[in-house]
Chains A and B, each alone.
Chain A
Amino acid sequence: MSAPEPPGLPRLLTGIPEHGALSLREHLALHGELPTFGARKRRGAQELIEQVELAGLRGRGGGGFPAGAKLRAVAGAARSPLGGGPVVLVNAAEGEPASYKDRTLLQALPHLVLDGSELAARAIAAEEIVLGVCETATAALRSLGDALAERASQQSRGAPRVRLVAVPNRYVAGQESALVNHVNGGPAVPTFTPPLPFERGVRRRPTLVANAETLAHIALIARHGPDWFRELGIASQPGSALVTLSGAQLAYPGVYEIEIGSPLSALIEAAGGLDGQLRAVLVGGYAGAWVDGALLRGVALSDEHLAPYGAALGAGVLVLLSSESCPVAELTRLTRWLAAQSARQCGPCVFGLDAIATVVEQLTLGTAERGAQQRLQALAALVRGRGACSHPDGAARLVSSALEVFAQELADHARHGPCAACERPSELPRPRPSAATTGGASAKPKPAPRELVSTP
């Protein structure tokens, strides 16, 4: 059972067919059979966790938590007498408007993610795999359903059940506790922790919540080993990563696989180059950090290299803002949207994010009181760390970075009101419309999750 020659780059995004998804047969021909990891069950499970740890894989959902440590924590919780059969919860909620790497991966290469889920399930002796996919990702949902049907016939006895659950299209739905809450039949809003999902998650079982891309990397680490994984990337953040690159003046926006630590300029070049001047880059998504375009162009894409700019690679969202846009108008839309996306559970988030959005609006219109920038800085500091989830922290990060990077534009608007570019359409990817959420999110109980496919 030898796997074919390991790919350089792309690793994940290889063999993508022009239409539809890579079939199970094609997938196995490309990547080889899924390794079984030793004859004895317990040792085999240990071995996979060790390999993931040695590979140094970090979660690709935004948090960047070491994947091996997470596997080990769930395996440990499952051994306690109170544990019960653990669950693998695949996180493809992807409520971030500027990200579509998870849905792209699931749509074209579902078996890579399913391989990873199966391996993770084996490593923690899980009874069930739940796939949580954004309700707007209809192509991904369809592709996953087909892929599960393909695998059903080859499923061995005692394999974990697999369940596909559509997740409401809302920003905070992908937060771990919100996803668990939704799968358990509650609303897709965060809960107060502890208990954390690794202790008590889906059906009160120890639950591994893992991003879809993270699991796809595990599928390849299991086949080619940790040394191979570390051939790309940097010591603190090995491997390749999927990024969603967008920008109004970009020739080919889309999902790309990069080597972690490679320069942004190379990525822009791969995307057909930029038609115009780069003003700033929004790194990490709607609740990410703005980085000055002049500074960033030569910078390497890794958490280590982005940290001095207050940014992190996170889930790989990069939005390029051209110098023809009005960053203040963009900030106005962003802060108002973030306020509307609050789950409206925690006071500081409900009132603080609304206050932030209001001051930004006043600044844009030139109607703000003196010292509005200082007021924004204070509001950002006031909401940080005061929600049940990190939604207010994200808004605070966005505002703090904007105050620094767009200091000149903000001062100009405060003095003279709207500029000519304020009228231009937004250069940011638009939030996805969805039937389930109209305007703001609410904590009102929602019907139980819709199960689209169930195996065996």
Chain B
Amino acid sequence: MRHRLRVNPIACEAHGMCAELLPERISLDEWGYPVLDAKPLSAELVAHAERAAQACPTFALLVERRRDQ
């Protein structure tokens, strides 16, 4: 299983929680919107990513699971 971050830009309201909780992969642009590192998440980061997704007030952060080929 591969995990990858994705943001729903329509839902995102720049609360910035995700960057606080997952600074390894998420930074904020000059307007406060998240800039994601699109690399697949390493195993130890998945739990942190899921916590960040749950903390998003608008549920705009998604941790997508994709089965390995």
Contacts and interface: CB of A to CB of B under 8 A. Distances in A.
B29 A348 contact: yes
B10 A348 contact: no
A437 interface: no
Contacts of B11: 192
Nearest to B32: A347
Contact of B14 (A347, A382, A387): A347
B33 A348 contact: yes
Contacts of B13: 347
A191 B10 CA distance: 8
A347 B10 CA distance: 8
B8 A192 contact: yes
B9 to A, nearest CB: 4
Interface string A374-411: 00000000100011100000000000000000000000
Top-10 shortest CB links A-B:
A346-B9, A347-B33, A351-B31, A345-B10, A192-B8, A388-B10, A192-B10, A388-B9, A348-B33, A347-B14
B29 to A, nearest CB: 6
B12 A347 contact: yes
B31 A345 contact: no
Which bracket fits the contact residues of B?
10 to 19
Contacts of B33: 347-348, 351, 386
Given A345-B9, A347-B31, A386-B9, 13 more contacts: A345-B10, A346-B12, A347-B12, A347-B13, A347-B14, A348-B29, A348-B31, A351-B30, A351-B33, A352-B31, A382-B35, A387-B9, A388-B10
Which bracket fits the contact residues of A?
10 to 19
Contacts of B32: 347
Which of A347, A351, A382, A388 has the most chain B CB within a 10 Å cutoff? Answer: A347
A349 B12 CA distance: 12
Contacts of B9: 192, 345-349, 386-388
A351 B28 CA distance: 13
Interface in B24-45: 29-33, 35
B66 to A, nearest CB: 13
A388 B11 CA distance: 10
A192 B33 CA distance: 17
Interface of B: 8-14, 29-33, 35
**What does DSSP make chain B's interface, helix, strand, loop or mixed?**
loop
Interface string A324-357: 0000000000000000000001111101100000
Contacts of B29: 348, 382
B10 A346 contact: yes
Nearest to B33: A347
Nearest to A350: B31
Nearest to A378: B30
A387 B30 CA distance: 16
A388 B9 CA distance: 6
Which of B8, B9, B13, B30 has the most chain A CB within a 10 Å cutoff? Answer: B9
Nearest to A392: B9
Contacts of A347: 9, 12-14, 31-33
Nearest to A349: B9
A126 B65 CA distance: 33
Contacts of A190: 10
Interface in A189-205: 190-192
12 contacts: A192-B8, A192-B11, A345-B9, A346-B10, A347-B9, A347-B13, A347-B31, A347-B32, A347-B33, A348-B33, A351-B30, A351-B31
A434 B41 CA distance: 47
Contacts of A388: 8-10
B16 to A, nearest CB: 11
A434 B31 CA distance: 32
A194 to B, nearest CB: 10
A381 to B, nearest CB: 10
Nearest to B8: A192
A387 B9 CA distance: 6
